Structure formats: C-alpha cells, structure tokens
A = this chain, B = another copy of it.
Amino acid sequence: MARAGLSTERLTRAGAELADEVGFDQVTVSALARQFDVKVASLYSHLKNSQDLKTKIALLALEELADRAAEALAGRAGKDALTAFANVYRDYAREHPGRYAAAQTRLDPQTARLSAGVRHAQLTRALLRGYELPENQQTHAVRLLGSVFHGYVSLEMGGGFSHSAPDTQETWSRVLDALDALLRNWPDS
C-alpha cells in the first residue's frame, strides 16, 4: 500500500489548519489521522503524544506571529508602529483563531525559552524606542502592552464585546489612541 508521506512538519501544519477550522481544543490525533486517511497509531512515529502535537502547533503560531510583528515594525515608529504592531495580533487572531488559541497555551519553561515568545518581548521593546520611557519603566510598559493586546483580542474573539453597542473597530481605535497618549505621557513613580 502506498505511503501517505507523513512528517512532523506536515502534521503540525495540518494540525494548525484544523485548529483554525474546528477550534484548537478539537484538534486530536484521531482527527488528524482521519485527514490523512491513515490509522491513528501511525502518527505516533512522528509525534510523541497528543500534547506534543499541541505544543508544536503553539510554537508554529508563535513563530508566525513574531514574523508578522517584525515585518510590521520595520520602518515604523511612534504611533504608526504601535498601530501596526497591535493590528498584527488582532488580525492574526481573526484569520487564525485556532492558531491564536494555540499560542496562548502554557509552555513548560524550557520550551518557552526556546520559543518565539522571547522575540515578542524584544519586538515590544523595540516598539517602545519610539517613545521616551525611562529605562526602569520599560518592562512595565511591555507587560502593559502585552496585557492590552492579548486581553482585548481574546475578549473580542470570545464574544465578550458583542453584546454592547458601539462596534469594536471604533473601540480598537480609541484604545490605540489611549495607549499612544499613555506612552507619551507615562506617569513617574
């Protein structure tokens, strides 16, 4: 019988697509085997286990996000950079909800250190160069920005905003205005 041509790489990509289609928590080794028209046990030559698959999808998503973020920051500064950077996260979550969900899963410390998560922090720091924040406030600002972007996107995707009136695009603009104002006028001590 002909071989299906599986590989960790292909399985991870297919898993990511599947996540976007049916939700990250619906991604199972079984579902993936079905996609390739292959028996479940066959995947275990390429994946340690189910958790391994999810971790690999998460790492893929973090890479993609960091790539987009780096691209968005190139040649921009100040509010222009802030907007572009923030939109990367929001757009990615909309285009790839499953991957975005994957990117939020908790990684064990070792995996995290090797992941693109580190690049995200560096990129956020780069974004702050356009604002004149005291050195000792940088980390706080990085964390605040991360919180707002992640929080906003996950509430919006989770339907948390869909019950009240003004549309979310308007709010998103105001939030970016507010963050820009805040960074230009960061309170001391």
Inter-chain contact A143/B159, CB cutoff 8 Å: no
B residues less than 8 Å from A149 (CB atoms)? 151
Identical copies in the complex: 2
**Residues 172-189 of chain A, each 1 if its beta carbon lies under 8 Å from chain B, else 0:** 001101101110011100
A152 and B152 CA atoms in complex are apart in Å by 11
B residues less than 8 Å from A37 (CB atoms)? none
* CB-contact partner of A144 in B137, B148, B154, B186, under 8 A: B148
B residues less than 8 Å from A150 (CB atoms)? 151, 154-155
Known: A117-B160, A177-B187. A155 touches B147 (CB 8 A): yes
Q: Interface extent on A, as a size class?
A: 35 or more
**Residues 58-81 of chain A, each 1 if its beta carbon lies under 8 Å from chain B, else 0:** 000000000000000000000000
The interface of chain A, by Cβ under 8 A from chain B, is: 104, 106-107, 109, 112-113, 117-118, 121, 137, 139-140, 142-144, 146-152, 154-155, 158-166, 168, 170-171, 174-175, 177-178, 180-182, 185-187
The contact sample of 22 A-B pairs, CB cut-off 8 A, is A106-B158, A106-B159, A109-B159, A139-B165, A140-B175, A143-B155, A143-B161, A144-B152, A144-B175, A144-B178, A146-B151, A147-B148, A147-B152, A147-B155, A148-B151, A149-B151, A150-B154, A150-B155, A151-B151, A177-B187, A178-B187, A181-B185
